[in-house]
Each structure stands twice: as C-alpha cells, then as structure tokens.
Amino acid sequence: MYRIGKRFRFEAAHSLPGLPDGHKCARSHGHSYSVEITLTTEDLHGPGFVVDFADLAGLGAYLDGSFDHRDLDTVLDVPATSENLARHLYCWCVEHLDLPAGVRIETVRVSETASTFAEYAPAMP
C-alpha cells in the first residue's frame, strides 16, 4: 500500500459555543490552521504516483477561497472545531477531487496549533 500526503495552511478566526463560562475559546480568536490530506492506493499511476500532488490543488483553492482570513463561525453550519472542520473537508474532497480508481482518501487532519490535531476518516465497513 502506498500513502501520500499534502499539507495546506490558512488563517482564520472562530469562537466555540457550548463551553463553560470564562472558557478562553468562547471568545473570538484566531489560528494559523494546517490541513493535511492523506491518500492511499495499491497501484501507482503515471510515472509512479499515488496521484500527482498537483491534483490536490483544488483543496488549496477551496481553503483559500472559502476559509482563509474568514470568521469560520459564518462558514460552517456546525461549530468550527477541528473535528468538524476535518469532517467537512474530508467530505468536500470526496465530492470534488477527481482521483483515479483505487485511490482512497484516507484521512483529513486539521491542526489549530502546533501541538493539537483532529482527524476524520470514515468508519470502515
């Protein structure tokens, strides 16, 4: 099994609802987000690619156009936690990235800070 990944970055603000009084994350604040997608396949394509890294540019364009320098509370219809972002972006990639047969999107990982992350991968059947 081959596995590749590509990392993207964007800057955005958010606040989180449903937290105890005084929780710092209930206040509007910003992060330098990192988004990492990983893909797997058993068979390589072209010169020996899972996919060309350039074929993942659509995710970067989506992040630049819809997430970068925005208030994420107005972008998603769920609270802008790392977990919800990871799931949203995984689903976007499944719908919008044109991948060769046999190439699977394994995970999307979102980090708000250097020391934290949340990952979404659908449950295996």
Catalytic positions: 25, 69, 112
Does position 82 bind ligand LPXRUNBV by CB under 6 A? yes
Provide the minimum distance between the beta carbon of 22 and ligand LPXRUNBV in the complex, in angstroms, as a whole number.
14
With binding defined as CB under 6 A, does residue 61 bind ligand LPXRUNBV?
no
**How would you class 101 by CB atoms within 10 Å of its CB: exposed for 0-12, middle for 13-18, buried for 19 or more?**
exposed
Binding to ligand LPXRUNBV by residue 81, rule CB under 6 A?
Answer: yes
Stretch that binds ligand LPXRUNBV, among 50-58, 64-72, 78-86, 94-102 (CB under 6 A): 78-86
Distance CA 83, CA 110 (A): 7
Strands in 118-120's sheet, in edge-to-edge order, are 70-71, 2-14, 29-41, 104-111, 118-120
Q: In what helix (H) or strand (E) does residue 38 lie, and over which residues does it extend?
A: strand 29-41
Does 118 bind ligand LPXRUNBV (CB under 6 A)? Our answer is yes
